């Protein structure tokens, strides 16, 4: 008698396992679909939240990197007694003497209000300011002319103005034509250009810019710059930053404010994700609910499919093969939910971003994390039902029907 | 029905091969002083020292009233459960010495089951239901389907291989289930009340099918509570209160057929 004969235990082929894991989904489509929906909603929420904020941040960061991060802004600060300090007239020239500085341009505040016409009540200042501006300002702050032209050596001498983007809007000027003029500090200034928004120097947006000579001649300007825009070599930005205070105002370096606008914008881009945590939390709750749904359907499935389990054991399935079948079914269910969720989340991101003309960015962490979370949830939610299915005695499963 | 035209590869599916297989090969099934006690309060003794042997190619009916232990015996013969004491050997392999995984492999390759409720997957075609009989034997899908078609031919259903179980009559469904039991060319087919869900005429047709399969050398055990059905079998084992009360061959069609398992008849079971 060949009792020493050994029995080889055949392995289930991957293709057969794939087919087996779809049995429950094929036979109970609606129920499987609904429980996958929970996972899909959770994953879609997570992908969309991460995608939307990433797209928005990416848009801003793209803009910042196009404008350059090497712009430093020097402004007059305050004296110890709280008065507005003045920058020395020679400050731009002294800053230009720093080796690593590549460009220096300045503006200077000029007292006086601006109106579309002398008939407008003087109280309606529109929060606009008049600034004297140097001729190379636009290139340094990274903006350009939207309409007309900028100041040049000739127009800088005359009562001629260029409007910042917001200033033009508030004054009701949307295009430049010959003879277009505004009422600035009790005299007419002719408008020769309108600027695009200056992302790195938003002060310019609400300014009416005139030439330095014109400011001195017509607007009783005292010659002190108020804002100096400095471009430094990209690798030397920090070093230049440290030198600017003492260079701009050697007597009172503490009365100088120095800022790096791109740094503030980067912080703003990061801050756009401030509400992400809330929505991610909601997505996580949806995922948890989805996981409970998957666990629930799998437990019901095991109860309903006792005869199938018993039959499979009779046909030669090992406990491990039954366990693997039900576990892979749960994982597949969650995976389908996860994939649908990633699709919905990506679509929502794409629609929103294209509506706002932003580039569509779906972080790898979002979609891979969504799919990974779905697989993990399927595995965890399906484990206990799968163990129950494997533990089911074939005789009970088959003869207790 | 075109029985005999299908080529089955398992030794023992033809009378010529059966004769040679019987010489020197172990019995298909040996049940030796088997008891089964279920640990409830109080413990239930379902089988009390049952012994018998089945040789290759036998057609046996195990008959008894409800509670006689015949279903428990089926569990043990099918290796779905283990005896409390005693030995069960399938083709010489001692069930006691095999792990759960090895028992599963044993069922996958050497035992075929036919159930009263058929247990067919309704979302699958008849062909795929039959092919599932080889799923856990490590046979590739293409070969499983080819052999399933052979098995369907064997039970006379090869013309509707793609029909769903819901499109088939009760008798046809049971034929599909029988084909599933046969597809792996098992050493033994265990049928539990195979006609229990069928009307009399259909039940008779299924019994005729079993006889034809038996004629081809398939070893078949039919478990039933119906004496009439048991009377159709070459050999009848009667059970009562967990014991064999009769084990013998019987006269079918005017001639007495001798069971090849005579040498192992239980003395206490003789009437």
The reported pLDDT for the residue numbered A5 is 57
Task: Please tell me the least confidently modeled range out of A64-73, A123-132, B156-165, B183-192.
Answer: A64-73
Q: Which residue has the tokens 């899909």?
A: A40
Judge whether B229 lies within some domain: yes
Average pLDDT of the residues in B173-193: 94
Report the alpha-carbon angle B120-B126-B129, nearest 5. Answer: 50
Q: Would you say B57 and B217 are in contact if contact means Cβ atoms under 8 Å apart?
A: yes
The CA distance from B211 to B221, in Å, is 11
CB contact under 8 A, B115 and A398: yes
Helices (H), A68-106: 91-96
Strand partners, A186: none
In a domain, B158, yes or no: yes
**How far is the CA of A272 from the CAs of A291, B57, B133, in angstroms?**
30, 79, 59
Q: Identify the pLDDT of residue B189.
A: 96
Q: CB-based contact (8 Å) between A399 and chain B?
A: yes
Chain A / chain B CB contacts < 8 angstroms: 102
Q: Is residue B268 part of a domain?
A: no
Distance between first and last Cα of chain A: 38
Which among A7, A395, A401 has CB closest to B81?
A: A395
Asked if B107 and A3 come within 8 Å (Cβ–Cβ), the reply is no
A137-159 burial, b at 16+ Cβ within 10 Å, e below that, comes to: bbebbbbeebbbebbeeebbbbb
CA of B40, closest CA in chain A: separation in Å? Answer: 15
Cβ–Cβ under 8 Å, residues A186 and A217: no
Burial of B217 (0-12, 13-18, 19+ CB in 10 A): buried
From chain B, pick out residues whose CB is under 8 angstroms from the CB of A393.
81
On the question of a cis peptide bond just before residue B42, with omega within 30 degrees of 0, the verdict is yes
Tell me which residue has tokens 């200077």: A108
Whether the predicted pLDDT of B24 surpasses 70 = no
**Contact, A129 vs A206, CB < 8 A?**
yes
Structure tokens at B38: 């279920």
Q: Which residues of A touch B106 (CB under 8 A)?
A: 7, 316
Instruction: Output the CA–CA distances (angstroms, integers) from residue A255 to A80, A92, A131, B218, in the order listed.
Output: 8, 15, 21, 105
Nearest by CB: A316 against B122, B136, B140:
B136
Name beta bridge partners: A148. A193
Asked if the Cβ–Cβ distance from A395 to B75 is below 8 Å, we say: yes
Is the pLDDT at B167 greater than 50? The verdict is yes
Collapsed DSSP state (helix, strand, coil) of residue A211: strand
Q: Locate all alpha helices (DSSP H) within A272-305, ordered by sequence.
A: 276-304
Q: Give how far Cα A268 sits from Cα of A47, A68, A395, Å.
A: 21, 16, 66
Domain count, chain B: 1
Cβ-based neighbours of B193, under 8 Å, separated by 6 or more:
B115, B116, B223, B224, B225
Q: What is the DSSP letter of A1?
A: -
For residue A160, the model assigns a pLDDT of 94
Q: Among candidates A96, A104, A111, which has minimal Cα distance to A73?
A: A104
pLDDT tier at B75 (50, 70, 90 boundaries)? very high
Q: Which residue of B has its CA nearest to A3?
A: B93
Mean pLDDT of B175-189: 94
Q: Which of A2, A10, A26 sits opposite B137 (nearest CB)?
A: A10
CB proximity A396 to B under 8 Å: no
B35 and B49 Cβ atoms separated by less than 8 Å? yes
Confidence band, pLDDT 50/70/90 cuts, at residue B254: very low
* Predicted confidence (pLDDT) at residue B263 exceeds the cutoff of 60: no
Q: Which domain holds residue B118?
A: 15-26+57-80+98-261
Contact criterion met (CB < 8 Å) for B133 and A315: yes
Closest CA to B230 of B62, B51, B113: B62
C-beta atoms surrounding B234 within 10 Å: 21
B136–A318 C-beta distance less than 8 A = yes
A274 close contact with B: CB closer than 8 A: no
Write down the mean pLDDT value for chain B: 84
In a 10 Å sphere around its CB, with 0-12 CB exposed, 13-18 middle and 19+ buried, how is residue B82 labelled? middle
pLDDT along chain A (401 residues), means of 10: 63 91 88 88 88 80 77 87 86 90 92 88 86 92 91 92 93 88 91 91 92 90 90 87 88 87 74 70 84 88 90 94 94 93 93 84 87 91 93 85 53
Which residues on chain B place their C-beta less than 8 Å from a C-beta of chain A?
Answer: 26, 71, 75, 78, 80-81, 89, 92-94, 97-98, 100-102, 104-109, 113, 115, 117, 119, 121-123, 132-133, 135-138, 140-141, 180
Nearest-angstrom CA–CA distance, A213 and A361: 48
Token representation of residue A220? 């009783």
Six token digits for residue A32: 């499987």
> A81 CB near a chain B CB, below 8 Å?
no
Average pLDDT over residues B22-27: 72
**Set of chain A residues whose Cβ sits within 8 Å of the Cβ of B93:** 2-3, 5, 7
CATH number of the domain encompassing residue B130: 3.40.50.300
ipTM for the complex shown:
0.84
Band the pLDDT of B268: cuts 50, 70, 90. very low
Beta bridge pairs of residue B238: B63, B246
pLDDT at B86: 95
> Which pLDDT does position A273 carry in this prediction?
62
Q: Is residue A175 classed as helix, strand or coil in its secondary structure?
A: coil
DSSP A84: B
Residue B254 CB burial class (10 angstroms; 0-12, 13-18, ≥19): exposed
- Report the gap between the CA of A43 and the closest CA in chain B (Å): 31
Give a yes or no: residue B3 inside a domain: no
- Beta-carbon count within 10 A of B171 CB: 19
Residue A14: other Cβ atoms inside 10 A: 8
Contact at CB, B121 and A395, closer than 8 angstroms: no
**Closest Cβ–Cβ partner in A10, A313, A399 for B71:** A399
Q: Are strands B188-192 and B93-94 parallel, antiparallel or unpaired?
A: unpaired
H/E stretch holding A146: strand A145-148
From chain B, pick out residues whose CB is under 8 angstroms from the CB of A9. Answer: 101-102, 104-105
Q: Is the pLDDT confidence value at B15 over 70? A: no
Taking the Cβ of residue A306 and every Cβ of chain B, the question of whether any pair is shorter than 8 Å is answered with: no
Residue of A nearest to B75 (CA): A395
Q: What confidence tens digit (pLDDT) does each residue in B106-132 have? A: 999 999 999 999 999 999 999 999 999
What is the token pair recorded at A301?
């499935």
Q: What is the pLDDT of residues A29-65, one digit of tens each?
A: 898 898 888 889 889 988 888 888 888 777 777 777 7
DSSP-derived secondary structure for A145-185: EEEE----TTGGGSSEEEE-HHHHHHHT--S--TT-EEEET
Reduce the DSSP state of residue A340 to 3 states and report it: helix
Between CA A330 and CA A388 the distance in angstroms is: 13
Give me B223's structure tokens.
């478990």
Contact (CB<8Å) A307/B117: yes
Alpha helices (runs of H) in A68-150, residue ranges in sequence order: 91-96, 137-141
Provide the 3-class DSSP secondary structure of residue A350: helix
Mutate to test the interface with B, among A7, A28, A312, A396 (most CBs of B within 10 A): A7
Residue of B nearest to A7 (CA): B102
- Which residue in B93, B104, B180 is closest to A5 by CB distance? B93
Chain A closest-CA separation from residue B196 CA (Å): 14
Confidence of residue B14 (pLDDT cuts 50, 70, 90): very low
Residue B18 has pLDDT above 80, yes or no: no
Q: Residue A344: its pLDDT value, please?
A: 94
Percent of chain B with pLDDT over 70: 83
Encoding tokens for residue A38?
């929970």
Test the A interface: residue of B26, B96, B104, B166 with most A CBs within 10 Å: B104
């Amino acid at each position: 008698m060949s009792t020493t004969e050994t029995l080889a235990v055949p392995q289930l082929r991957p293709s057969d396992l794939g087919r087996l894991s779809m049995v429950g989904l094929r036979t109970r489509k609606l129920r499987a679909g609904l429980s996958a929906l929970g996972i899909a909603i959770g994953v879609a929420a997570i992908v969309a939240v991460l995608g939307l904020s990433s797209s928005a941040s990416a848009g801003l960061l793209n803009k910042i990197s196009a404008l350059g991060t090497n712009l430093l802004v020097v402004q007059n600060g305050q004296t110890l007694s709280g008065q507005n300090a003045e920058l020395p007239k020679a400050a731009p020239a002294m800053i230009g003497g720093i080796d690593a500085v590549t460009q220096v341009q300045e503006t200077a505040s000029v007292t006086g209000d601006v109106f579309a016409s002398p008939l407008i009540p003087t109280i309606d200042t529109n929060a606009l300011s008049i600034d004297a501006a140097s001729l190379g300002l636009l290139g340094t702050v990274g903006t350009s002319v939207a309409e007309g032209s900028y100041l040049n050596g000739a127009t800088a001498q005359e009562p001629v103005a260029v409007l910042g983007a917001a200033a033009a809007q508030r004054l009701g000027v949307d295009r430049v034509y010959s003879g277009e003029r505004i009422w600035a500090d009790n005299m007419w200034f002719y408008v020769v250009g309108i600027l695009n928004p200056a992302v790195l120097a938003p002060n310019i947006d609400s300014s009416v810019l005139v030439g330095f000579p014109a400011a001195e001649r017509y607007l009783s300007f005292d010659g002190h710059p108020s804002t100096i825009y400095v471009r430094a070599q990209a690798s030397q930005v920090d070093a230049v930053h440290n030198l600017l205070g003492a260079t701009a105002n050697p007597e009172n370096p503490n009365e100088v404010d120095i800022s790096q606008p791109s740094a503030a914008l980067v912080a703003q881009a990061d801050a756009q994700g401030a509400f992400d945590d809330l929505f991610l939390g909601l997505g996580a709750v949806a995922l948890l609910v989805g996981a409970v749904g998957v666990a629930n359907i799998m437990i019901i499935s095991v109860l309903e499919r006792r005869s199938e389990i018993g039959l499979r054991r009779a046909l030669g399935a090992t406990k491990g093969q039954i366990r693997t079948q039900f576990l892979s079914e749960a994982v597949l269910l969650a995976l389908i939910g996860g994939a649908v969720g990633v699709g919905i989340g990506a679509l929502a991101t794409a629609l929103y971003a294209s509506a706002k003309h932003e580039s569509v960015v779906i972080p790898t962490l979002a979609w891979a994390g969504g799919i990974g979370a779905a697989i993990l949830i399927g595995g965890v939610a399906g484990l206990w039902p799968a163990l129950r299915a494997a533990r089911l005695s074939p005789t009970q499963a088959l003869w207790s029907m | 029905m075109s029985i005999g035209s299908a080529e089955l590869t398992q030794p023992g599916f033809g009378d010529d091969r059966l004769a040679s297989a019987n010489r020197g090969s172990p019995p298909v099934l040996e049940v030796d002083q088997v008891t089964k006690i279920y640990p409830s309060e109080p413990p239930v003794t379902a089988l009390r020292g049952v012994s018998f042997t089945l040789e290759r190619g036998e057609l046996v009916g195990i008959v008894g009233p409800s509670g006689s232990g015949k279903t428990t015996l089926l569990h043990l013969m099918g290796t779905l459960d283990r005896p409390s004491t005693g030995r069960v050997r399938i083709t010489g392999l001692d069930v006691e010495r095999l792990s759960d995984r090895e028992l599963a492999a044993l069922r996958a390759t050497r035992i075929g089951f036919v159930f009263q409720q058929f247990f067919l997957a309704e979302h699958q075609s008849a062909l795929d239901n039959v092919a599932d009989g080889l799923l856990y034997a490590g046979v590739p899908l293409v070969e499983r389907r080819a052999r399933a078609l052979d098995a369907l031919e064997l039970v006379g259903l090869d013309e509707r291989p793609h029909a769903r179980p819901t499109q088939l009559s009760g008798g046809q469904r049971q034929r599909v289930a029988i084909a599933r039991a046969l597809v792996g060319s098992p050493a033994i087919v265990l049928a539990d009340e195979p006609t229990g869900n069928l009307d009399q005429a259909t039940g008779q047709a299924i019994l005729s099918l079993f006889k034809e399969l038996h004629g081809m050398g398939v070893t078949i055990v039919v478990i039933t509570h119906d004496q009439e059905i048991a009377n159709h079998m070459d050999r009848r084992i009667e059970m009562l209160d967990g014991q064999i009360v009769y084990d013998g061959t019987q006269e079918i069609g005017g001639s007495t057929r001798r069971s090849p398992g005579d040498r192992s008849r239980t003395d206490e079971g003789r009437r």
